[in-house]
Every structure is written in C-alpha cells, then in structure tokens.
Amino acid sequence: MRHTDRQSDSSLSPALASDPRFTAVERTLKQYQYRPDALIEVLHVAQEAFGYLSDELMDHVARQLKVPLSRVYGVATFYHFFSLEPQGEHSCVVCTGTACYVKRSGEIVKRLEGEFGVKAGNTTADGKLTLSTVRCLGSCGLAPVVVLDGEIAGRNTPDSAAAAAHHLVAEGKPEKKPVAERPRRRGRRGGTP
C-alpha cells in the first residue's frame, strides 16, 4: 500500500488541514453538499487556491465526494484548466485562437520559447515563469493577445511580448502602460473622416 495512513477521512496531513487556502475547498464541498457532480467545481476552487492539484488534495476530494480516485484523476487530466504540477511564480499566456493565429501569434510563441528557453506549457527552470498557450480568449478584436499574470495585453509583436514578459519577471508585476501610449494602428481608418 502506498499511503497506509490514507484510510480514513481524518488522515489529512496536518499541514494541509491547517492551510488557510484549504478552507475555500472545504467551503465549496459543503456548499455543494458533497454531491459527486460537484467534482469539477471543487477542483476549480482547489486549483485556484493552491495553483495546482496535489495527490493529497485529489485524494481528499475523492473521499469527501465519495467518487473513485481514478475518476478524480481522469477528470483532472481531461480538462486543460487543471494542473498537477506547481506553476511558476508568474504566468505568460499567448492566445493561439484563429484571429490571433491569422495575425501571427505563432511567431510570438516561438520568440518567447526562445527567450526563456522553455517549451509552451512548461515552467522555467528557476520557477519564475510558466509559459503557455490558450485557444481563444474572446478578445479577437485585440489580436494577437498575450496575458501576463491575468492582465490582457493586445496588439502584440514578438518584440513587445518578449519585452513585457521580461518586465513581468524582473519587476514582479505586469507593466501597466499609460493608456495614452497604447499603440495605434496606422493606415487607412475605414469610415472615419
């Protein structure tokens, strides 16, 4: 047996049980009255609180909702949102939806992969940055879109995206451009006199 102490519900390690982030998970379990169909909602909250789903968390959720362990793992790996590995300190997500693709977001991904020496979907060796891609954020009017720690930045070039990602890692927060300096697209402005 792998973890013999996991036989009862009270087997939760003291470290996790006393973790303040854990209360959010417990609250959600209660809110859904421990119904098995709440599995995905509970995993969302756990992922949000801890940044990833550890074996211990998934084991606990399985016991509380009375669903098989294998189902929890199957669900957690089926959906893109859930991560079983700790994430980097910061995140840089490049949209690769159709509108962004048409505006060459692929070049941005390549550039960032080169700059940080990490494939999309992975975290840099120093744990500073997780680089990933997403299929359409629904901000197609701003294509190509990059999201830095949750802040959406539109109309990127490989250069601007790389600069913004470096800024994020160096300064610890995304660069908030003064609104007036936002890049304006040149060329004919259809319909405007």
Partner 1 sequence: MIPSDLRAMAEQERERQEGFRCRIMVCAGTPCLSAGADVVLETLRQGIAEGGLDAEIESVATGCMGPCSRGPLVKVRSRGKEIVYERVTSESARQILFSVVKGRRPPTVSPLPPDLPFLARQERVVLANSGSVNPERIEEYVAAGGYEALSHALHEMTPDDVCREVSLSGLRGRGGAGYPTGVKWSLARKAPGERKYVVANGDEGDPGAYMDRSIMESDPHRVLEGMALAGYAIGAEQGFIYVRGEYHLAGRRLEGAIRDAERKGLLGSRVLGSNFNFRIDIRTGAGAFVCGEETSLMASIMGKRGQPWHRPPYPAQKGLWGNPTLINNVETFAAVPAVVGRGAEWFAAIGTPKSRGTKVYALCGQVEIAGLIEVPMGTTLREVVYEIGGGIPSGKRFKAAQSGGPSGGCIPASYLDTPLDYESMERIGTIMGSGGLIIMDETSCMPDVASFFLDFCRDESCGKCAPCRVGTVEMHRLLRRITSGTATMDDLVKLEELCELVGTTSLCGLGMTAPNPVLSTLRYFRDEYVDHIRQRRCTAGVCTIAENPAPGAEGEALLHAMGVPGEVE
Partner 2 sequence: MPVITLTINDELVSGRRGESLLEVVREHGITLPTLCHMEGLSERGGCRLCIVEVEGSPRPVPACTTMAREGMLVRTHTTRLIRYRRMIVELLLAERNHYCAVCVSVGHCELQNVAAALGVDHVRYEYLSPRVTMDLSHERFGMDHNRCILCTRCVRVCDEVEGVRTWDIAHRGVRSRIMADLNYPWGESETCTSCGKCVQVCPTGALFTKGAAVGEMVKDPGMLRRVLEGRDRKEWEG
* Residues at the site binding partner 1, with contacts judged by CB under 8 A: 36-41, 43-44, 67, 71, 74-75, 78-82, 96-99, 101-103, 134-143, 145, 151-154, 179-180, 182, 184-185, 187-193
Of the pair 3, 119, the CB lying nearest partner 1 is at: 119
- Which residues make up the interface to partner 2 (CB under 8 A)? 1-3, 6, 55, 58-59, 68-74, 77-78
- Taking alpha carbons only, the member of 73, 57, 70 closest to residue 24 is 57
What's the closest the beta carbon of residue 60 comes to partner 1, in angstroms? 16
Of the pair 11, 149, the CB lying nearest partner 1 is at: 149
Of the pair 36, 86, the CB lying nearest partner 1 is at: 36
What's the closest the beta carbon of residue 67 comes to partner 2, in angstroms? 9
What's the closest the beta carbon of residue 163 comes to partner 2, in angstroms? 34
